Amino acid sequence: MADVQLRGVVKRFGNATVIHGVDLDIRDREFCVFVGPSGCGKSTLLRLVAGLEDITDGDLMIDGRRVNDLPPARRGIAMVFQSYALYPHMTTRENMEFGLQLAKTDRSTIRQLVDKAAAILQIEPLLDRKPRDMSGGQRQRVAIGRAIVRNPKVFLFDEPLSNLDAKLRVQMRLELAKLHRDLNATMIYVTHDQVEAMTMADKIVVLRSGFVEQVGSPLELYHKPRNLFVAGFIGSPAMNFINSSVIDIEGETATVALLGGAHMQVRVVKPVKKGDRVTLGIRPEHLSLNSGPGSQVAGRVIVTERLGGATYHYVQCGVDMLMVLSEGGSPIREGDDVTVWIDPKMVHIFDENEQAVGLGTHYDA
């Protein structure tokens, strides 16, 4: 098992720079998730770690050793691909054995390793089947099994669940989390789905356009997004944003304008000036309708989505559309005029550069 360090890692394809000097520390046995929208460079970053792409600049250390110039096979990694990448003409057992045969491991040892991995993944009945005779979930297990038998220092997963249906994805998510615990291995996992990131990660790395936007634990990102992008990306349903401006500033307390002439006092932690344009961010679960703490904004319910256990109300407040999460049996209907209560303790403030400049006292803990 090993820790992974990236120091100023840069990747250029021709003239296009796709990874802009990433610094990252992944500790031993950590489950680290690279998340971001498509094209953010998360897969490229993983491939740099795997050695499938050459690192243009910077250093990659695995277990304290610089591995930039080592071929993938000698980096002590194993990778699970999005499309599983199983050899179509080989049985499960052959697929799992194929990479081992070269390592001069003797046959009985190989057999044992495969059997053990198959037991962990509960794929013993599939050992003699070929990929085309298996479901997506089964293939995914085989692909993971193939990684396990290599007994790597670091597991790399490239969007492994994105080809599965929703239900299977939830199930596999649990199993992967369990596997991480059982194997006690360092894992790097790439996904575009922030739910997967939130549910599995010890550490999330949010990437955008080849830059690391924020690194932290799931709740750290949820509670203290460093910028507007992370705030919008992490959390489901997504955070509401209200365009606003600073009316007054007094120490750490800023007065910001709300719709309909209302205003609210919020805490800022970085300097803002009177008249600055800011964005207020507040999550749907922190808004309430018709009664609650904080300031009020008037609006009308445009759409209501009832999920049974919860209800999403889309409320038009002037130019802003706010989404409010209510309980399942919310009596409010589409077309109702409502007041939206915004609790200043729950609010995030972002400046014109989209950087977080303030947040409610709720997040102090």
Partner 1 sequence: MATTTASQLTRSRVRDAWLYLLPMLIVLAAVAGYPLLMTIYYGFTDATLSTAFNWDFDWVGLDNYIEYVDFGDGTGEYYGLLFDPTWINAVWNTIKFTVISVSLETVLGMAVALTLHAHFRGRGLLRTAILIPWAIPTIVSAKMWAWMLHDQFGIINDILMGLGVISSPIAWTASPDTALAAVIIVDVWKTTPFMALLILAGLQMLPGDIYEAAKVDGVHPVKVFFRVTLPLVRPALMVAVIFRALDSLRIFDLIYVLTPNNAQTRSMSVFAQENLFQFDKFYYGSAASTFLFLVIAMLVISFIKFGRLRLGD
Residues in touch with partner 1 (CB under 8 A): 50-52, 71-74, 77-79, 81-89, 98-99, 102-103, 146, 150
Report the distance separating Cα 71 and Cα 345, nearest Å. 51
Quickly tell me which residue has 């059982």 as its tokens. Answer: 182
User: Identity (one letter) of the amino acid at 114?
Assistant: V
Report the distance separating Cα 217 and Cα 339, nearest Å. 34
User: Identity (one letter) of the amino acid at 111?
Assistant: R
Please state the closest distance from residue 44 (CB atom) to partner 1, in A: 13
Please state the closest distance from residue 95 (CB atom) to partner 1, in A: 9
Choice between 52 and 298, CB closer to partner 1: 52
Choice between 42 and 146, CB closer to partner 1: 146
> Closest Cα to residue 117, out of 150, 88, 86, 87?
150
Contact present, 116 and 182 (Cβ < 8 Å): no
Please state the closest distance from residue 350 (CB atom) to partner 1, in A: 40
Choice between 103 and 302, CB closer to partner 1: 103
Choice between 1 and 85, CB closer to partner 1: 85
| Preceding peptide of 237 cis, ω within 30° | yes
Contact present, 271 and 308 (Cβ < 8 Å): no
Contact present, 127 and 138 (Cβ < 8 Å): no
Neighbours of 7 (CB within 10 A): 15
Choice between 4 and 301, CB closer to partner 1: 4
Please state the closest distance from residue 180 (CB atom) to partner 1, in A: 19
Q: Measure the CA dihedral 171/35/285/222, to 10°.
A: 120
Please count the residues of the chain: 365
> Closest Cα to residue 26, out of 201, 223, 218?
201
Please state the closest distance from residue 85 (CB atom) to partner 1, in A: 4
Report the distance separating Cα 295 and Cα 262, nearest Å. 8
Choice between 81 and 363, CB closer to partner 1: 81
Contact present, 194 and 35 (Cβ < 8 Å): yes
Please state the closest distance from residue 327 (CB atom) to partner 1, in A: 46
Report the distance separating Cα 307 and Cα 296, nearest Å. 26
Choice between 103 and 303, CB closer to partner 1: 103
Please state the closest distance from residue 164 (CB atom) to partner 1, in A: 16
Choice between 71 and 251, CB closer to partner 1: 71
From the number of C-beta atoms within 10 Å of its C-beta (0-12, 13-18, 19+), residue 172 rates as buried
Please state the closest distance from residue 81 (CB atom) to partner 1, in A: 5
Say which DSSP state 230 is in: H
Please state the closest distance from residue 52 (CB atom) to partner 1, in A: 5
Choice between 126 and 301, CB closer to partner 1: 126
Q: Going by DSSP bridges, is the β-strand pair 154-158/186-191 parallel, antiparallel, or unpaired?
A: parallel
Please state the closest distance from residue 73 (CB atom) to partner 1, in A: 2
User: Identity (one letter) of the amino acid at 303?
Assistant: V
Measured at the alpha carbon of residue 59, what is the angle toward residues 53 and 65, in degrees to the nearest 5? Answer: 100
Choice between 134 and 315, CB closer to partner 1: 134
User: Identity (one letter) of the amino acid at 90?
Assistant: M
